[in-house]
């Protein structure tokens, strides 16, 4: 019955006509000067974007910067699809990959506020197969059987939100081959399985460390998608659509694109051996654990709604989502979270378990300014595999989103520069 629903939704996504992107409500616009930004300095973002296009590092990009809830900068440069001669536009749709994680984390915390789950709850309360997980044993551990030991403690919802569960991704050299053999995917390729199917498989995989004892970025957020389904009694994609996307007027965000929106999806490029770009072809790309497909948002049977990497969105849509976070959980009279919950989500929860950066409940967090870093302590952010990024800086009341589509990034540095370029425009 559930699988029939999935197939039906995939068919409907191809047939249903939708309103054009122009009908979506973005954030209000204002002059840079009125909110303490310099137009001349914001134009430096455009210059760097254009340089990337001119030098063949990117085909095109779209970027937005807002402060005090108003957009002061919004530019698109280059091409959405060079071969079809389609320019980048405000309504270009991008595969946002791991920027899906922030949205899934908000869904979980909405259920937390409703009392449908607690952060200390074991995952097995929602997915029973996680009741007796095993962990890769340390070298020389006399208690190990077949190289595995029992987990000292259950995986909790908090472990999933903070990526301290011990779950990893398919490219982990210790367990990646087991993931691949079990048919566990990562959201960037067509997968006919439902979340419920793949999470049962994942529960049988060994953890790479004891829950709560290290930070390992991985499929934890995909597991949270299934937790949302069980705790809410709704399919994950339906929960996101009705509880987050529709209230926030994120009209172009979702897992599957209807036929009318496919022409707005940006093509994906890769560096070519001659220093330019080549368009990635349709079909399965790559070998081993890092197989991916650029057509998963609209082609083939794809029922696996990856909360960690499966969504598509636009710069205006995602801008509305992160403005809601900056506002303490509310936008345009719609409240998804309380201010206190947002504060908890955006406070470092992992400490020295992750030396590179702080990490809250679904967001990377600046806990200390490093040399040459132009942001604020307490700012938070994340990015995506296909070359998308965002930041939220509460101290400066500023947000930014920048999206392109390339794999791998090659010589592109736009994402690394974007947050600093936005901050150097502050002049008040």
Q: Tell me, yes or no, whether 377 lies in a domain.
A: yes
Give the tokens for residue 215: 């930070």
Print the domain residue range for 406: 22-99+258-272+311-423
Q: How many CB atoms lie within 10 A of CB 298?
A: 18
Q: Tell me, yes or no, whether 335 lies in a domain.
A: yes
pLDDT at 10: 45
Identify the CATH number of the domain in which residue 346 sits: 3.40.710.10
Q: Tell me, yes or no, whether 106 lies in a domain.
A: no
pLDDT at 289: 73
pLDDT at 15: 37
Contact 123, 157 (CB under 8 A): yes
Domain count of the fold of the chain:
1
Question: How does 175-186 read in b/e, with b if 16+ C-beta sit within 10 Å?
Answer: bbeebbeeebbb
Element (H, E) at 285: strand 284-285
Q: Tell me, yes or no, whether 159 lies in a domain.
A: no
DSSP assignment letter at 58 = -
Q: How many CB atoms lie within 10 A of CB 367?
A: 16
Q: Tell me, yes or no, whether 161 lies in a domain.
A: no
Residue 87's contacts (CB-CB under 8 Å, 6 or more residues apart) are: 60, 76, 78, 79, 80
Beta bridge partners of 406: 269
Q: Tell me, yes or no, whether 153 lies in a domain.
A: no
Give the tokens for residue 333: 């009279």
pLDDT at 54: 97
Give the closest residue to 58 by CA, choosing from 410, 391, 419: 410
Contact 252, 240 (CB under 8 A): no
Q: How many CB atoms lie within 10 A of CB 267?
A: 19
- What does each of the 428 residues of the chain score in pLDDT, given as a tens digit? 445 455 444 444 433 333 333 434 689 999 999 999 999 999 999 999 999 999 999 999 999 999 999 999 999 999 999 999 999 999 999 999 999 999 999 999 999 999 999 999 999 999 999 999 999 998 778 788 889 999 999 999 999 999 999 999 999 999 999 999 999 999 999 999 999 999 999 999 999 999 999 999 999 999 999 999 999 999 999 999 999 999 999 999 999 999 999 999 999 999 999 889 999 999 888 877 778 999 999 999 999 999 999 999 999 999 999 999 999 999 999 999 999 999 999 999 999 999 889 999 999 999 998 877 889 999 999 999 999 999 999 999 999 999 999 999 999 999 999 999 999 999 99
Beta bridge partners of 87: 79
pTM of the model: 0.94
- ω into residue 145 within 30 of 0, thus cis? no
pLDDT at 24: 42
Q: Tell me, yes or no, whether 69 lies in a domain.
A: yes
Give the closest residue to 310 by CA, choosing from 164, 175, 203, 191: 191
Give the closest residue to 187 by CA, choosing from 308, 99, 288: 308
Q: Tell me, yes or no, whether 181 lies in a domain.
A: no
CB hemisphere CA count around 427 (13 angstroms): 11
Residue with tokens 């425009």: 425
What is the chain's Cα-based Rg?
Answer: 21
Q: Angle at CA 364, nearest 5°, toward 106 and 170? A: 85
């Amino acid at each position: 019955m559930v699988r029939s629903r999935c197939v039906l939704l995939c068919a409907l996504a191809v047939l249903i006509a939708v309103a054009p992107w122009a009908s979506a409500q973005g954030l209000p616009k204002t002059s840079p000067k009125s909110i303490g930004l310099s137009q001349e300095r914001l134009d430096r973002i455009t210059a760097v974007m254009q340089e990337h296009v001119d030098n063949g590092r990117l085909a095109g990009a779209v970027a937005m910067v807002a402060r005090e809830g108003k957009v002061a900068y919004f530019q698109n440069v280059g091409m959405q699809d060079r071969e079809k001669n389609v320019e980048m536009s405000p309504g270009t749709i991008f595969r946002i990959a791991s920027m899906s994680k922030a949205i899934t984390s908000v869904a979980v915390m909405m259920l937390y506020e409703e009392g449908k789950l607690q952060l200390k709850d074991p995952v097995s309360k929602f997915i029973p197969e996680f009741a007796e997980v095993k962990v890769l044993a340390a070298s020389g551990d006399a208690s190990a059987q077949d190289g595995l030991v029992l987990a000292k403690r259950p995986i909790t919802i908090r472990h999933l939100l903070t990526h301290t569960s011990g779950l990893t991704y398919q490219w982990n050299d210790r367990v990646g081959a087991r993931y691949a053999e079990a048919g566990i995917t990562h959201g960037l390729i067509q997968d006919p399985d439902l979340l419920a199917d793949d999470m049962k498989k994942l529960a049988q995989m060994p953890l790479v460390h004891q829950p709560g004892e290290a930070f390992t970025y991985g499929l934890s957020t995909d597991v949270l998608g299934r937790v949302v389904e069980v705790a809410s009694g709704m399919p994950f994609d339906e929960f996101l659509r009705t509880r987050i996307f529709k209230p926030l007027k994120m009209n172009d965000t979702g897992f599957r694109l209807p036929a009318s929106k496919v022409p707005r999806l940006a093509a994906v490029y890769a560096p070519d051996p001659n220093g330019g770009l080549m368009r990635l072809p349709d079909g399965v790309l790559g070998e081993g654990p890092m197989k991916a497909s650029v057509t998963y948002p609209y082609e083939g049977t794809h029922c696996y709604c990856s909360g960690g990497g499966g969504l598509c969105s636009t710069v205006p849509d995602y801008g509305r989502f992160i403005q809601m976070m900056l506002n303490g959980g509310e936008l345009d009279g719609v409240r998804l979270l309380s201010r206190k919950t947002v504060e908890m989500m955006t406070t470092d929860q992992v400490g020295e378990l992750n030396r590179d950066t702080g990490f809250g409940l679904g967001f990377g967090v600046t806990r200390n300014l490093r040399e040459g870093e132009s942001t604020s302590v307490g700012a938070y952010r994340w990015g995506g595999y296909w070359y998308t990024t965002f930041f939220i800086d509460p101290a400066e009341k500023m947000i930014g989103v920048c999206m392109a589509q390339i794999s791998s990034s090659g010589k592109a540095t736009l994402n690394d520069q974007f947050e600093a370029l936005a901050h150097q425009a502050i002049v008040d």
